Structure 1
């Protein structure tokens, strides 16, 4: 038994070393640097709370965090609605396995190009003279181009939904295809309506997939910075953009402090999600 335990530890050693060097050590370094001081031209080791005091005492930073939560909540709600609908259609309305696989692969086509290209592709569509405005004016819905379609919170959320919906579709679909169809048939035989089957069988059994997809979407949106920069026309910001700006100005302690607060925030949000379901059964 003792030799088996030593062998297990020995087998886990390489992964432990990799995680310690490339995950834990950088996080510890960021945490330490977050207490350092900085001048206009240099940074210096110290133990002070000035960076955190600025974060929690600045109305601008608090507004940026508010924008981040707004983008995250709106993107999560939209991707959940779209992802659940797409996964439900593929899992329960497409009977042929080949067609099901083909349609699922069709959903991955946007991922064959980079995020930047997919993001920028919205600019000519949503612009003042873009296809969306031309269609609206052509149908008589509006007489002038709609200004808020591009370089606004709407365009930022739209780009996020476009970029990250697949991260919601995949785990939900993977969970739905595992649902025992006999449960649904039994519910129908006992007179359950479609809504009752959805709310009492499908959604509860799909919770692990919903939580996994939600974790992906929340973590990606809260850490993103390039999408907000491009799609808002630099008129808005989120926490990722704040960190990027601090790094560009060589204010590494401030960027580290913001990163720590963001990491803690994401972990709290994920912890709250995990209270609702045990995703270890899904993994």
Structure 2
């Protein structure tokens, strides 16, 4: 009975990854790609200071986005789980959170450009209110714009697992803590957050992997002034440097898997899946 699933895993996951790893050891010239077992792609990758700058930039985007999505996602999930008593309203408000995801990621991302532009809505409103005297140039084509787009695109991936975990918390536990004299902050810190760790970890894995592999958002929202590992791979592919792109992809995959393995040491998410 497992054979169909095994075949799907092998064809669509294991074989593509094996092919990428294989190509990463091939040699590329200006005119051709030579199937050979060489380490020059990895040597060039780890010997270039640009690589380390790009990886640092990628981690910066991932960590800031993770912190913002965790704060927003936890707050939204907490409100839906503990302050909305009616199941009908919980479902209604949760569906409202998913409305932006009914459109393409690219459309939602590009929609920020006329809002954040020098002559956009944000600058126009701030100037009309007298908050600023001149348009703010850093609202668009900057790290701020990139992170804002990331948070907009991926917050729901943090809301869903946290909300799912919070809904499984027995109300009697919160009542027992309240009867024991715990205030709201103590209940949050000692009861709700520990029991919500599996959902937080699942959301963290989703957000970190999505942000670290995204390159379209960085390209458009930074105005091609910034880069991450995804853009590095995209540029190599555009230049037909497939072995170099494959080597970078292998390093990125290894980095993401290492991060996930570290996260899984803090909590057993198999109970949540």
Is residue 252 of structure 1 aligned with residue 242 of structure 2? yes
Distance in 2 between residues matched to 1:102 and 1:14, nearest whole Å: 37
**TM superposition shift of 1:48:** 1.2
Question: Which has the larger displacement, 129-138 or 145-154?
Answer: 129-138
**2:103 aligned with 1:99:** no
- The corresponding residue for 1:77 is 67
Partner of 1:18: 8
Of 215, 218, 221, which aligns to 2:208? 218
Q: Does 1:141 align with 2:136?
A: no
Structure-2 residue corresponding to 1:273? 263
Aligned to 1:243: 233
- Equivalent-residue separation in structure 1 for 2:45 and 2:140 (angstroms): 30
Aligned to 1:117: 107
Name the counterpart of 2:168.
Answer: 178
Q: Give the secondary-structure state (helix, strand or coil) at the position aligned to 2:2.
A: helix
TM-score, normalization by structure 1 = 0.95
Deviation at 1:90, TM superposition (A): 0.3
1:32 corresponds to which residue?
A: 22
Query: Alignment length, in residue pairs?
Result: 273
Counterpart of 1:202 in 2: which secondary structure?
Answer: helix
TM, length-normalised to structure 2: 0.99
Match for residue 154 of structure 2? 164
**Which aligned runs of 4 or more in structure 1 are off by greater than 4 angstroms?**
none
Mapped to 2, the partners of 1:238 and 1:160 lie a distance apart of: 13
Structure 2 unaligned segments of length 5 or more: list them.
none
What is the CA-CA distance between 1:139 and the residue it aligns to? 2.2
Give the Å deviation of 1:249: 0.6
Q: 2: distance between equivalents of 1:184 and 1:14?
A: 44
Post-superposition shift, 1:21? 1.4
Counterpart residue number, 1:232 = 222
Alignment map for 1:127-138 (pairs within 5 Å)? 127-138=117-128
Using the alignment, how far apart are the partners of 2:151 and 2:139 within structure 1?
Answer: 15
**How far apart, in 2, do the equivalents of 1:282 and 1:237 lie?**
35
- Cross-structure match for 1:200: 190
1:55-80, CA deviations, whole angstroms, 9 ceiling, x for partnerless residues? 11111111111110000000000000
What value does the CA root-mean-square deviation take over the aligned residues? Answer: 0.7
CA distance in 2, matches of 1:42, 1:245: 17
